[in-house]
Amino acid sequence: MKRLLLLVFFIILFSLSPNFSFACSFTEFVPLKFNTNEYVFFGKIIGYTDKVESTFESYNRKIKFVGFGLKVKVENAVNLPIVSETIEVFSSYPKDTACTKAGVSLFELKKEFPVGTQVRVIGQENDKLIGNNNNNIPRIEVSFANQGHLFNNITKKGTILSTNESIFDYRLSLPLYGSKFTTDETFVWLFEVRKDLKRLEQTTSQNERFTILKRLAFSYDYYEDYENLIEKYLSDETSVKELIKLKKNWEKKN
């Protein structure tokens, strides 16, 4: 049920994009495996890129991609495949039944992300779509297809939604859907998952690993992914059984 609700929410979210069709297929959400190819960071909008135009193939058709990007100053990084003070971030969305990617206009970017906006970003390089920057500044694509994430990290009331050090309770995620919360608030758990997976990579403490894995038991994922994650990071059989039981009970309830 919870995955159905999440899927419906994503469909509603992306239906706000022009020309979007509900026939476009979707993939499952974040697998519990740290992806070293993802750029995961907090940043501040410092400007906008020039227009990018490229041609790519989709279903044996040549498609023209046109879009503008955000120039984002990296303030705190969770993971950067290429370390850089500035990263160019391009959003794309599916515009038809074939999930053909379309870019975002400069007008829309300035309206949604004015200069100075504090953001959370998850994206990956896609040189076939947005090309490379001549100034050696990384260019990344943020889209549903690559599990992307581009949201304001500060609410209108001035509340900071996530920091490098913040700890998230994933049991709070589901009640956010269909509530009074904004999408910036609702989808913060997607960013928090990356932070916890990175923490698992960085620590050798079995106690700390257990604590992180216990939090992740309440996140959204394939059950098999979670079991693999436990077996990878925990050596104590009793702890492994405890977390597997916890996860199974949570899945039954939700």
Q: Tens digits of per-residue pLDDT, 158-168? A: 999 999 999 99
User: By the 8 A CB rule, do 61 and 225 touch?
Assistant: no
Secondary structure of 196-252 in HEC code, one letter for each residue: HHHHHHHCCCHHHHHHHHHHHCCCCCCHHHHHHHHHHHCCCHHHHHHHHHHHHHHHH
Question: Worst-scoring range by mean pLDDT, 10-14, 130-134, 179-183, 218-222?
Answer: 10-14
Which of these, 97, 77, 102, lies nearest to 87 by C-alpha position?
77
Confidence of residue 9 (pLDDT cuts 50, 70, 90): very low
User: What number is the average pLDDT over the span 186-199?
Assistant: 93
11 has a pLDDT exceeding 60 = no
**Of 149 and 102, the one with more pLDDT:** 149
User: What number is the average pLDDT over the span 89-97?
Assistant: 81
Question: Given this model, what pLDDT does residue 70 score?
Answer: 97
Percent of the chain at pLDDT > 90 equals: 54
Confidence of residue 179 (pLDDT cuts 50, 70, 90): low
Question: Given this model, what pLDDT does residue 145 score?
Answer: 76
User: By the 8 A CB rule, do 119 and 74 touch?
Assistant: no
Question: Given this model, what pLDDT does residue 176 score?
Answer: 57
User: What number is the average pLDDT over the span 66-74?
Assistant: 96
26 has a pLDDT exceeding 50 = no
15 has a pLDDT exceeding 60 = no
User: What number is the average pLDDT over the span 136-155?
Assistant: 90
User: What number is the average pLDDT over the span 21-43?
Assistant: 72
- pTM for the model stands at 0.86
**Of 1 and 154, the one with more pLDDT:** 154
